[in-house]
Amino acid sequence: MSIGENVKRIRTEKKLTQQELAEKMGISRSYLSDIENNRKNPSSKTLEALAEKLNVSMLYLTTGKKTLNDLDDSELKEQFKPVASKIKAGNAGTTKYVKTKLKELSESELEYAVTQYLANALIFLRTSNEEELKTLTVIIVQLIKYRNYGKHDYVEQDELLDFIEGETKEFKEFLKRRFHYKGDD
C-alpha cells in the first residue's frame, strides 16, 4: 500500500473525517485529500506530524505494518495467544519439575536447618501476593545467575559488586513493601 492509502485507512480506523484530521494538523482538507489520493508526497515533517496526530508509529503510517504500540486490545490478545500457550506449556513443565523435586525432598532425610528453611519458604509462598512472588522470583533468578557467574576468574569484581549492591537495594525495597514500611531511611 502507498503512504496515502495508509493515511486514509488509519484515519478511517480512528473514525476521523478529513476535515477533523486536517484541522488537527493545521493543513487544508484538500491537501490531506491530495496526500491520501497520492497526488502529493508529504514531507518527512508532515509524516511525523500525521503519525503523532493519528497516534501511530511512523512504520505503520509509511508501510502499513503495525508495531506493538499500534495494536488495539483485540489485536494484542490475538498476537499473545501463541505466547500464552507457550507460557502455559512451560508452566506445566515447571510445575511437574517442582512437584518431582518436592516429592524427592519429602522422601529424603533433611537437616534441621534445611527443614526449617523449607517450612518458612512455604509459609512465605502461601502468604505472598502475586506481585511479591514475581519480585522475589526475579531477585532469586538474578542471584543464581550471578552466583554461577561469580565463580569464573574473568568476572569483573566491580561489576559483581554493582550487582550485589543493586540486588541488596532491590531486596530492601521489596521487604519495605512486604511489611508496609512507611518510615524514613
Domain chopping of the chain, boundaries: 3-70, 73-100, 128-185
Residue with cell 537437616: 111
Here the cell at position 20 is 477533523
What pLDDT, on the 0 to 100 scale, is given for residue 78? 82
| Rounded Cα gap, residues 55 and 69, in angstroms | 9
Fold of 3-70: 434 Repressor (Amino-terminal Domain) (1.10.260)
Q: Which of 176, 89, 157 is nearest to 81 (CA)?
A: 89
pLDDT, one tens digit for every residue, the chain (185 residues): 899 999 999 999 999 999 999 999 999 999 999 999 999 999 989 999 999 999 999 989 999 888 878 888 888 788 777 777 777 787 888 888 888 988 888 888 888 888 888 888 888 888 888 888 888 887 787 777 777 766 666 667 777 778 778 878 888 888 888 788 887 65
Q: Is the distance from CB of 66 to CB of 75 less than 8 angstroms?
A: yes
| Rounded Cα gap, residues 133 and 138, in angstroms | 9
Residue with cell 490478545: 77
Nearest-5° angle of CA 170, CA 125, CA 99? 120
pTM for the complete prediction?
A: 0.46
Q: Is the distance from CB of 56 to CB of 11 less than 8 angstroms?
A: no
Q: Which of 164, 117, 169 is nearest to 143 (CA)?
A: 164
| 154, containing H or E segment | none
